[in-house]
Amino acid sequence: MSNTNPPSPSTGSRTETFTCVRCGRTVGAFTPDGLRRNHCPSCLHSRHVHDHVEGGPSECLSRMSPISIAVPRDGDWKVIHRCTRCDELTANRVQVDDNQLILMRLAVRPLAQPPFPLEVFGEL
């Protein structure tokens, strides 16, 4: 049976699914390598179900859009989400089956509109 919320971290079975609030896809709650999902692997959108400042569940429940990709020197890539209603920010691990094209498009987007001319830098 399908649920409209991303699953809570501690409960649920491997057959559990949720429906993406952005693209409508029905998504398995777990990745192929057995990790619980936080966002839709197709469009990378999420839902504000957890209060990350106070802890515990959030009453917001609005859509969270991916706004940035963080590439730590060590550790996994992360998707930064921002809630479209209350602006809360979260960082969540990129999963093995996340849409790679959307990921890279998001990751290089700042370079498309640099605040200074890139020509002055030469080779980095």
Partner 1 sequence: MPRRNPASADRRVQRRKERVPRGDAFRCAGCRADVPFHAPGTAHRNHCPQCLTSLHVDRRVPGDRAAGCGGRMEALSLSTRPDGEWLLIHHCLVCGELSANRIAGDDNPLVLLRMAVRPLSDSRVPARAMLVL
- Which own/partner contact pairs does 102-105 have at CB distance under 8 Å and 24+ positions apart? 102/42, 102/43, 102/44, 102/66, 103/44, 103/69, 103/77, 103/79
* Alpha helix stretches (DSSP H) within the chain: 100-112
Residue that has been written with the tokens 């959307």 in this structure: 102
CB of 18 to partner 1, least distance (A): 23
Nearer to partner 1 (CB atom), residue 1 or residue 124 = 124
Q: Using CB under 8 A, list all residues that contact partner 1.
A: 52-53, 67-72, 77-78, 80, 82, 87-91, 100-101, 103-105, 107-116, 118, 121, 124
For residue 25, the cross-strand partners are none
String marking each residue 10-49 x if it binds Zn ion according to CB under 5 A: ----------x-xx-x--------------x-xx----x-
What residue 114 binds from Zn ion, partner 1, none (CB within 5 to 8 A, per partner kind)?
partner 1
Residue that has been written with the tokens 């730590």 in this structure: 72
What residue 84 binds from partner 1, Zn ion, none (CB within 5 to 8 A, per partner kind)?
none
